[in-house]
Amino acid sequence: MQNQGHKYTVELRISGEAVDPDVISRETGLQPCRTRLAGSRLGSQTFDEGMWGFDGDGPHHWGSLEDALEFVLDRLGGAEKLFEKYREKYDVVWWCGHFQDRFDGGPILSGQILKRLGAFGVGLFIDNYFSPPLRGLGTHFGKGGDGSQENQEVRRSLFEKGISPDLLRLLFKRPAYTPVSTSPRWAKTNEALPQTVEHVVHGSGERGTV
């Protein structure tokens, strides 16, 4: 079921200090959408854990969380049994991003998909983002009108890359009442803004790889 104003992303993620994405890709025969090694860096931020993520090479955003989960599950093929082994060694989770431009509503999951997820045995995490239509992005990048789907895709991609709310507010000319974050988490990634904007807007590199 699709709810207007709500979009979802889904990845099956494996993370841990000893995670080697190449080994997991080789064992499963699956092509990841997102990888990193422990000790890799983004700007001044160093990641303590390696990570491998799989989204089935489908749409990056979905109108239905259930449709997205079914899509990825259907593309695991014979690799499903391998995840039992991975659960014993690493953290394995369904990472679901929920992007909403209103405060009501949310995902609905049927008994059928809940039964299937339960049989697979991996926990499901939903990360919620308030993502209202944007203003001013077209001025910065010279394309896309205010609140366009294209502009929102860019903002979400930047946020997922670790760009702070403060910088996003300035970049997209958000209103002055937008809350200001002073978290050290964001301070560590601020210096990566130019490279990240180049990556997201102009499509350099692989999507989601850090």
pLDDT score recorded for residue 13: 96
pLDDT confidence of residue 60: 82
**Cα–Cα distance between 15 and 93 in angstroms, integer?**
9
Q: According to the model, what pLDDT value does residue 128 have?
A: 87
Q: Between the CA atoms of 10, 11, 17 and 22, what dihedral angle is there, to the nearest 10 degrees?
A: -160
pLDDT value of position 163: 60
Q: What is the number of residues in the chain? A: 210
Q: Consecutive sets of 10 residues in the chain, 210 residues long: mean pLDDT of each?
A: 78 95 96 93 88 92 93 92 93 93 83 95 91 51 43 60 57 42 42 44 38
* pLDDT computed for residue 59 by the predictor: 87
Q: Which residues have C-beta within 8 Å of that of residue 36, sequence separation ≥ 6? A: 21, 47, 50, 51, 209, 210
State the Cα–Cα distance between residues 121 and 66, nearest whole angstrom.
16
In the prediction, which pLDDT does 169 show? 56
What is the value of pTM for the model shown?
0.63
Per-residue model confidence (pLDDT) at position 155 = 59
Alpha-carbon Rg for the chain, nearest whole angstrom, is 18
pLDDT score, position 122: 95
Question: Tell me, what's the pLDDT at 207?
Answer: 40
